[in-house]
Amino acid sequence: RELAYSLVKQNKKVAMVSLEDQMDVTAQAMVALDMNIPLNKFRFNPPAQSVVQPHFDEIVHSGNLFFWKHFGKMNLSNLMDKLYYYARSKSCDFIFLDHLSSVVAASKESNERQAIDHIMDELSQLVIETGVGLVMVVHLKRPGGDKSCAKGGEVELSDLRGSAALEQYSWAVVGLE
């Protein structure tokens, strides 16, 4: 969200495809960032509407931020239609897809690796054909042992969950620890 917010502030067009969040939560998160207030505080103890409205207008109504009103699993065909719409019809510079697992869960593939391979191929074609920047959230594996990311181990490319296609099709991978 911080990266998307920064891009909107730089007058870039950004589409937020948050498959686990309701559209209003994503919008509130962007306004909270603009107001430098933690989202949970903003949501449960919001400032007066008169204080919030200018930030809401500047960020959400800027014409540079788009939301997809959706929640849950997403069929790949419908997702790709929507992503192409944002890239071509709305001229978005960046699309944020949060997260890949929701797309994989709705896949018709019986194998997670094959599903990710297929999805990454489709997403790569989108980026190449339209020039849109795609920022995608991907979960990590949950390996055991002392080197686990959950126990303070360093994040490595091999920790991406599901398929080597995640690293092979990506132009850049950023791991947060």
Kindly report the pTM of this predicted structure: 0.89
Q: What percentage of the chain exceeds 90 in pLDDT?
A: 53
Instruction: Dump pLDDT digits (tens) for 23-73.
Output: 889 999 999 999 999 999 999 999 999 999 999 999 999 999 999 877 666
| CA proximity to 166, closest of 139, 129, 132, 147 | 139
| Residue 8 pLDDT > 70 | yes
